[in-house]
Structure 1
């Protein structure tokens, strides 16, 4: 189920990039760094949704948490760095790409401006799916499991699209971007700390399954919390600090020096 869209996206991007750079020149339209980001995101997506984390996630909460954090915090900004929709459009016949652009460009641009709703959706998805009852239901139903992973990826893409809009153009709302990134990071860190410092296993299903693969349930849960608390917060912190720095630079450029004001 996951493999077909994954391969399709990879083929469209590779073919579209080849056509784009052949027409416009290497580095035009999307930078080599952006392309490297996209393929790093695809590799992270494969690790999360195909193998090995998807296989181990049924037995280890830490492996399952690594999946979730990749889909929410790492895969979306890496994919978006490579401008996947614009590049993949070059792989399509011109008539198709023009029709898709006319239909989707305006609504996607408008949606990516909704930073607050995107941050709320990101946080809601993160909290809702990590409730013990929700996670137990997910592990008992393959369709629900796929829905959870899709919701993580879509919520992550929406939030990071809104964040990327500010990262590429701090003038579109650097201050709001900093607040949103840090607010989401703090919630993620808080939930991770709850799991890391809890003195009892909070997920009964993993309390049963983890020993079957040689894991202590509480240690597995604490590792899951640390993964959510520390490494998963790094992209949000980095984005917030970048926006803060860009915002301060803009203020500095607008402020006349003492020598100029005399």
Structure 2
């Protein structure tokens, strides 16, 4: 079977050495340190959200999850879900950049959907893992488009209705993508054909697990955000006693 090497996170992790596979790439550590400095120096609108974003970015890029995502498509999907459904909203809360104009919500949601589907198509996915520029283009476009969407959703000027529709649309298209991955009759992600056996999985089983994670796990943050928006809207409408 063809095999595409994973360029950035290094060779695929194996169970015996997983916890030794920390990523100490200097530019990455400098970038995370700079983000932490912005939060620590009170340059963020929400320090708790800022520290949460720093911690989760360390999890997906520095911890052994990076090397594990070289081995398993399910680990890579977990990485992506954390990036777009947890890191992005936390960054949107911490750095809303209120002076920056908000683009129209519908094109932002649509562009984010296209980017998610594009990077989880087998061809672009394999290319995104095979080169360092491709890898970072994947990460930056996923995170950047998600940040733009969450920033609009959290904007005080956006009514609750459109914000909820954006969340529902995202849940819907990610659920559809997850279902297509789950029910694909053959393994599609060649970057992991030679690396799943060490973890007791076939490429197809790994792919099905990844689809379930995108279908079910990814839904939770969006549902939580929707419930929070509804609760906040109801509280605002409560008459003063």
CA distance in 2, matches of 1:143, 1:225: 26
Alignment size in residue pairs? 213
Question: 1:229 aligns to what?
Answer: 215
Alpha carbons 1:13, 1:84 under 8 Å: kept: no
Question: 2:24 aligns to what?
Answer: none
Question: 2:41 aligns to what?
Answer: 15
CA distance in 2, matches of 1:251, 1:195: 42
Higher helix share: 1
Greater RCO (CA < 8 Å, at least 6 residues apart)? 2
Give unpaired runs (5+ residues) of structure 1: 18-28, 87-104, 254-262
Matched, 1:51 2:50: no
Q: How does 1:171-186 map to 2 (within 5 A)?
A: 172-186=158-172
CA distance in 2, matches of 1:147, 1:203: 18
CA distance in 2, matches of 1:74, 1:13: 17
Distance 1:213 1:14, change over 3 A: same
Question: 1:198 aligns to what?
Answer: 184
Matched, 1:73 2:99: no
- Per the TM alignment, residue 135 of structure 1 is displaced from its structure 2 partner at its CA by 1.0
Alpha carbons 1:53, 1:66 under 8 Å: kept: no
Distance 1:250 1:39, change over 3 A: closer
CA RMSD of aligned residues (A): 2.3
Distance 1:230 1:172, change over 3 A: same
CA distance in 1, matches of 2:49, 2:105: 22
Q: Which moved more, 1:122-131 or 1:213-222?
A: 213-222
Alpha carbons 1:57, 1:64 under 8 Å: kept: yes
Runs (4+) off by over 4 Å: 245-253
- Per the TM alignment, residue 35 of structure 1 is displaced from its structure 2 partner at its CA by 2.7
* SS across alignment from 1:185: helix
CA distance in 2, matches of 1:16, 1:36: 11
Q: Could you state the TM-score of these two structures normalised by the residue count of structure 1?
A: 0.73
Question: 1:154 aligns to what?
Answer: 144
Question: 1:141 aligns to what?
Answer: 131
- Per the TM alignment, residue 214 of structure 1 is displaced from its structure 2 partner at its CA by 4.0
Alpha carbons 2:49, 2:90 under 8 Å: kept: yes
CA distance in 2, matches of 1:5, 1:139: 21
Give unpaired runs (5+ residues) of structure 2: 1-26
CA distance in 1, matches of 2:208, 2:167: 24
Larger Rg: 1
Deviations 1:2-24 (A, max 9, x none): 2211111102221236xxxxxxx
CA distance in 1, matches of 2:151, 2:161: 16
* SS across alignment from 1:51: coil
